[in-house]
Structure 1
């Protein structure tokens, strides 16, 4: 029998761990599934100096604190690689590749992203034999050796600086003309002030060469077209990421053409009710630890609100045996306030034969939309979860309308 949770989080990077903190703190039963060591790419980043309030720290240490915080609040973290998900309907099902099955009332997708390959000849064959995508993981293998870093963004610059602790020399290959980089200014200043680092501008790696291990790279100057070869012992690639969303294809989750999850930027909710997305796998502009953590916090709070609204709908509208008069109103709309007052008098005069449900469309717009109501005021009669009639105008004879649409036995 599958384990049932209020909230299941897929992925244990900064977004997933942050969601676990907020989910557990909100007293939701919270499960986080992570296929490797919690922390994601952040756990492989040696130096972190832009997380507010901490100054300079390390990725592994910061992610350790995230995990300990989530577990201290009651979140459960398990290791497993998700192979399939069924996300439609009120109960979501998550299956791991080893056969574990979990059910959830809400899901937050935080699968993260993985380093993008250059796609040049020799790269795949020499991966793990001098070609690496993680300086923190592999830098010590290149102690006193010469390495090449490919990239021009924050990750490439920061990892190049880190590699100077181990390597004899670091050569950064940048596709832009001299002086132009995509990295932040502070990182660039540190790069140019590091004696062990040399930058080759306006150049791309065309091929990685070697028999059993990396021996050199073939370079092509983008201005002159000149091809040269640079001897080296290792190549570190930092040219962006690819979202780990392959398992979501065919599930109904909306992805963009690059595979990133499309989610509401205000609530992190995807196109499937009760399913949210956070972190690097979400389509967004800035991918940093702090923005991933913010995504996770927003998604967990939105999930809590989603579950509370689902419980309200079930308790007040779908489950009662008696007919239910549901009023969709807003405190900012004077007519809807008047209609609500009329409805309260009508139900009070029926001696318990009918119930009243108040749906504040200002606070619970998603609930109203789910029930097919987009404007206020609106009144709808439900019986055993089935909508019988809806009134959206001419409320002067509301009581007669209600009586005329009640089930025959009332």
Structure 2
């Protein structure tokens, strides 16, 4: 069956904070805007239990914030399609084609806001126990371990915040930290240290997990003495960083050695009319606030690019 071709002003790939913000600004600029998302609307923010560092909200859940952003984007006129997966793309200065399962879109401009996914724990049995004690989303899977001992691996704010969430349901949470410090806000670390059923295991590294069909023990090595100990627990939640979702674009868009998409401060990639925003972009800080800023700039620059091209075509 031949797919229907559709011309459109702007396609935003990804419906996280960056993509939804871009959708708000683009729609307010009267651009016909389509947001394509093949995962959950809201991206990683939706799986955050509590957010306390986003301006305007002293405290808000990730689900609430994602829903507010989604409602605002659609309220301004953006269309979100989360069921029509992208099969392939062509992104050049002269031609932009986004082919999904149902349509062939020919947008005037594209904003890539696909975000990043959690980095897998680098242990031999990660795949064998994925979903059977190895997890990457506390909100999604934490309730399955009510009253159990749970491990958290990571050294940033995400690891600490998710440990506090898990402590609400678990008997005990053990944070396995490779070094003797955290890359996190001092306030968050202080809050974690005050939770009675959270233990921080400094200078220890997770080297594997074992069990019959499900995780039963974590094998942990002291990073200074090389002593290996076994910790009885039922689950390990990993928060050791993220990997950008860029495979679809690599034939056309320049990425850095770390896999993140390169751009200038205007969010412009190496391809004219293709912009990038949010966690998929190569930059120093990845926060909700910086994703929103990226999305704003990308949408404004895309609007200017589209308007100038329409005028030149007259």
TM range (shorter): over 0.9
The question of 1:6 aligning with 2:9 is answered yes
Indicate if the aligned counterparts of 1:269 and 1:276 stay in contact, CA closer than 8 A: yes
Return the alpha-carbon distance in structure 2 between the equivalents of residues 42 and 263 of structure 1.
23
Indicate if the aligned counterparts of 1:205 and 1:220 stay in contact, CA closer than 8 A: yes
User: What corresponds to 1:284 in structure 2?
Assistant: 283
> How many residues matched?
310
Return the alpha-carbon distance in structure 1 between the equivalents of residues 212 and 86 of structure 2.
36
Cα RMSD after superposing both structures: 1.0
User: What corresponds to 1:309 in structure 2?
Assistant: 308
The question of 1:39 aligning with 2:39 is answered no
Partner of 1:60, secondary structure, is helix
User: What corresponds to 1:151 in structure 2?
Assistant: 154
**Deviation readout 1:344-368 (Å, 9 max, x if unpaired):** xxxxxxxxxxxxxxxxxxxxxxxxx
TM-score calculated relative to the size of structure 1: 0.74
**Deviation readout 1:359-381 (Å, 9 max, x if unpaired):** xxxxxxxxxxxxxxxxxxxxxxx
TM-score calculated relative to the size of structure 2: 0.97
In structure 1, the gaps of 5 or more residues are 316-410
Q: What are the equivalent positions in structure 2 for 1:365-404 lying under 5 Å apart?
A: none
**Deviation readout 1:249-301 (Å, 9 max, x if unpaired):** 21x21011121000112x10100000000000000111111111111011000
Return the alpha-carbon distance in structure 2 between the equivalents of residues 206 and 292 of structure 1.
33
Residue 155 (structure 1) shift:
0.4
Residue 91 (structure 1) shift:
4.0
Return the alpha-carbon distance in structure 1 between the equivalents of residues 291 and 53 of structure 2.
13
Residue 4 (structure 1) shift:
1.4
**Deviation readout 1:174-194 (Å, 9 max, x if unpaired):** 0112xx111111110111111
Return the alpha-carbon distance in structure 2 between the equivalents of residues 202 and 56 of structure 1.
32
Residue 152 (structure 1) shift:
1.0
Q: What are the equivalent positions in structure 2 for 1:120-269 lying under 5 Å apart?
A: 120-177=123-180, 180-250=181-251, 252-265=252-265, 267-269=266-268
Residue 122 (structure 1) shift:
1.2
* Structure with the larger RCO, 1 or 2 (CA within 8 Å, 6+ apart): 2
Greater Cα radius of gyration, structure 1 or 2? 1
In structure 2, the gaps of 5 or more residues are none
Residue 233 (structure 1) shift:
0.4
Q: What are the equivalent positions in structure 2 for 1:314-325 lying under 5 Å apart?
A: 314-315=313-314
Indicate if the aligned counterparts of 2:206 and 2:220 stay in contact, CA closer than 8 A: yes
The question of 1:73 aligning with 2:76 is answered yes
Indicate if the aligned counterparts of 2:6 and 2:103 stay in contact, CA closer than 8 A: no
Give 2:87's match in structure 1, choosing from 71, 83, 103. 83
Return the alpha-carbon distance in structure 2 between the equivalents of residues 224 and 37 of structure 1.
43
Residue 7 (structure 1) shift:
0.5
Q: What are the equivalent positions in structure 2 for 1:331-342 lying under 5 Å apart?
A: none
Return the alpha-carbon distance in structure 1 between the equivalents of residues 182 and 40 of structure 2.
32
Indicate if the aligned counterparts of 1:10 and 1:82 stay in contact, CA closer than 8 A: no
Indicate if the aligned counterparts of 1:90 and 1:105 stay in contact, CA closer than 8 A: no
